[in-house]
Amino acid sequence: MMGFDYGRFGTVGGNALRRNVRRLNKALADALRPPPRMTVSEWAAEFRKFPEDAPIPGDWSHDTAPELVEIMDAMSPHDPCEEITVMKCAQSGGSASAENWLGFISDLAPGPVLFVQATFQAALDWAAEKFWPMVEATPKLNPERRGTIRAQGLANGDGSTSKKVLFSRSSGYILLAGANSAAGLRQRTVRYAVEDDLDQFPADLDGQGSPEGMIDERLKVWRSRGLSKRLKISTPTIEGSSKIAAAYEKSDRRHYYLRCPECTDRFLIDWGDVQWVDGDHEHAHVVAPCCGVQIEHWRKPEMKRPDGWLSDRIDGKPVPRVLTEDAFQAFRARMQPSRKRGFHLAGEISTFQSWGEMAVGFRDAQGDVSKLKTWTNLKRGIAFKVATDTPDYEQLMKLREQHWGVGQMPIGPLVVTLGGDVQGDGIYVEKVGHGPRKETWQLDARFLPGATDVPGEGAWKALDEYAQRGTAFPGGKVLPIDWECIDAGYHTPAAQAYCAKRPRRLAVFGRAGWGRPILGRGETIGYEQQGRRAGRAGSKAEDKAHIVGVSNVKLSWYGYLRTTMQAFAAVEESGVAEVTPVGRVHLSRDTPADWFEQATAETIEVRMVNGFPDRRWMVMPGRQNHYLDCRVYNLAAAEKLMLDTLTEMDWAALRADRYAPREDGLRDLFAPDLTQSQAPPAPQPSPMPPQPRHGYVEKREGWL
C-alpha cells in the first residue's frame, strides 16, 4: 500500500503536514487510551499538595494518617463499593479524603458530581476554604498550569462559577447544593454524590421527603449501570436519631485496629484504655488490652497501619477486640468487599488529637451534659445517648432553701444575669445568681404584665424599671445586672429597642438543633429557609442575630437538676455532707409555685420523619414553658460572660470586691425595699473597657 505523498506539497508544506499528522495521531491515541488504573490513595500520594500556610504543607503523605488509605481506595472506580459512610470525630482527615476523591474524579474518572452541605452557604464556604486552596496548591488541578479544573470568572463565560466547578478536559462538573433547598437537589442526574456534615441535614424538605432520598433519585440512572459512587461523612449527634450513625449501622461497620508496639498484637482501642495518673489528664496514656503495657501518645503513629480495618462481624460472628497478627490477617482475608462500607474514625485513633487532649476535654465536661455530648460527638466521634426522663417538678420543691428578699441574694452568687421570655400580654423574667463550677441561685422569678408590641411601653417599661433596680449583695453593695438575654422572637423591634437602650443587654433568638452552640454570634437565620428563598440572606432584623441553641442548653439544665436532686437525696438518706456537684441549683422559699412546673415543662420525644427517628424537645400537654425559656436565656447570658473561663483567682477577686462593705462603712441590717419605684436607682455602669475576650465580666472597682 502506497503511503501519502507529502513531497508534492513541497519541502515546507510536506514537513508541516507530517507534523500535523503526528499530532493528530497522538491526540487520537490519547483519546482512545484508557486512564491509568490508579486508586484514589495512589493519586493523592502522587499529586495532592497542601499550600504553604497549611498546618502540614507540601505533599500528601499516607504516613500522617494511614487509616485514610482504605477509605479512599473504596472510592476508586474499579472497586465494587457504591456507598461509603464515614462516621468521624472532628479533625480526623475524613473531609480531606473527600477532597482527594474530587480531584481524582476531575482527572481520571470525570462525571457529574453533586456536593451537598447542610446549607448552600456552608457549601460555598467549603469551596472557598477547602476546595479552591487545594486546586491552587495542586499543579494537577491548577488551571494556570493546565490542570483539570477550569478557572473562575473567565472572560468568555466558560469558566467555573461559585455554584458549579467545571472540569477542563471533559463535560464533568461539581455542583454545589444545600440540603435545605429542594430545587438544588432536583436539578441534575449525577454519577457521584458527597453528603458532607450529614447529621445537620433536615429530616424533611418542603414536605417532599428527606434530602437523602432526593440525592438517591439523582444517582438512580448511573447506579443502574453500576457506575455510581456515594460518600456520606459527618460527626454523629444523638443516638437513635443520628443520620450518619444510621447509615453506618446499615454498612459493614468497620473499626480500626491498632498494632501494639510491644507485643505486635492488634487491638481495638476503647476509651476505657485511656488512663492518667493522679489527675494529670494532660499526660494521659493507653494501657494496651493485649499485654497491659503503658503506651505514650508519641508512639501512636507507629501503631497505625493502612490495613487496620475490620468489620465488627465476619462470617456472621463478632470479631474479638484483641487479635494476634496472624488471626487479624486471617479475618482480613475473609472480609468480603461489600457494596456498602462504613468506617468509624474514632477520636482515640486520630492523628490530629492526643489522648491527653481527649482526657482534658473529658475532665472539663464532667457535670455538664451538653458539654459531655459535645465531647462525645466531636472528640470521640460517637453518638450521644440522652436521658429522656424529665425531672419531677414536685420533687424539685424539696430543694427550696431559706428566704432571701427580692432584690437581694444569699451568700454564694457573684454574678447576676436576667433572662426574659416575651409574650403578647407581658414578659416572664428570671434573675439568676452564678458562682464557680456553674452553681446557680434562683434570685427572683415573676411575670410583668403589659403590652409588648410597642417599644418602650407596657411591659417593656416595667422590665426596664425592674432591671435598673439592681441587686443588693451581702456586703450591702447594690450592683446592676451583669448581663440580660431577652427573647426577640416575638416582637423583634420592641425587644431590640429595649436591648439597645442600655449596655449589657442582648436580643436573642432560640433555635432548636443538637449541633448548635449555646450562643452563636450573628448567625444568619435566613439560611435555614427552605424552598425558593433557601440560601438567601434576608433583610429582616432577625436575619442576623444571636442564636441560642436551646436543645443543648435544656440538656444541660436538666442535667444540673438531676445531679442536684441526687446530691440532696444522698444527704437525706445517709446524712453525709454532700459534695457540691457541678451545676448545683439553689431555689428560694420565695420561688413562685408555677416556676417548678414550667422549668421542667418539656421532654424529649421521638418522632419518625421519613423513616428516621427524630429526637426533639416538646412541651408536655397542659404545661407552659416560659420559666424554662427564661433559664435557658440565663445560661446563654452566662455563656456570653464566659463564666466557665474564670479561674479560682478570678472568682476570689470578684468575691472580695462585690461582697465588700459599702463605701460609707455601714451595712443595713434590714434590706431596703427595692421593689418600690421610689427606691434610689442603681448607679449607671461605666462603659466596659476594651478587653481581649468579648463579653467577659467587666472590671468594677479594681476587683482584679
Tens-place pLDDT, residues 83-122: 999 999 998 988 999 999 999 999 999 999 999 999 899 9
The topology (CATH level 3) of 91-234 is: Rossmann fold (3.40.50)
- pLDDT value at position 4? 74
Model confidence at 462, pLDDT cuts 50, 70, 90, reads very high
Contacts of 529 (CB under 8 A, 6+ apart): 180, 535, 536, 538
Average pLDDT score over residue span 672-680: 37
pLDDT, tens digit (0-9, with 9 covering 90-100), for 290-345? 999 999 999 999 999 999 999 999 999 999 999 999 999 999 999 988 999 999 99
The residues facing 149 across adjacent strands are 167
More confident position, 139 or 171: 139
C-alpha dist (Å) from residue 669 to 91, 173, 469: 57, 77, 19
For residue 287, pLDDT beyond 90? yes
Same fold, 91-234 and 393-512+547-658: no
More confident position, 530 or 633: 633
Q: Are strands 229-234 and 192-196 parallel, antiparallel or unpaired?
A: parallel
Place of cell 499529586: 47
Which range among 116-125, 134-143, 662-671 shows the weakest confidence by mean pLDDT? Answer: 662-671
- CATH of segment(s) 393-512+547-658: 3.30.420.240
C-alpha dist (Å) from residue 672 to 130, 432, 460, 480, 520: 60, 20, 24, 15, 38
- pLDDT value at position 18? 81
Which range among 23-37, 139-153, 251-265, 339-353 shows the weakest confidence by mean pLDDT? Answer: 23-37
For residue 399, pLDDT beyond 60? yes
- pLDDT value at position 441? 94
Place of cell 452557604: 121
Per-domain residue ranges for the chain?
91-234, 253-385, 393-512+547-658
- In this structure, what C-alpha cell is assigned to residue 191? 454519577
Average pLDDT score over residue span 160-186: 89
- Residue 552: enclosing H or E segment and its boundaries? helix 550-574
- pLDDT value at position 695? 46
Q: Where are the alpha helices (DSSP H) in 312-387?
A: 325-334, 355-365, 369-374
- Say how many C-beta atoms besides its own lie within 10 A of residue 619's C-beta: 14
- Over the range 634-669, which residues count as b (16 or more CB within 10 Å of their CB) and which as e? bbbbbbbbebeebeeebbebbbebbeeeeeeeeeee
For residue 25, pLDDT beyond 80? no
* CB 362, CB 221: distance < 8 Å: no
- Say how many C-beta atoms besides its own lie within 10 A of residue 175's C-beta: 20
Model confidence at 209, pLDDT cuts 50, 70, 90, reads confident
State the pTM of this model.
Answer: 0.78
The residues facing 489 across adjacent strands are none
Average pLDDT score over residue span 216-236: 93
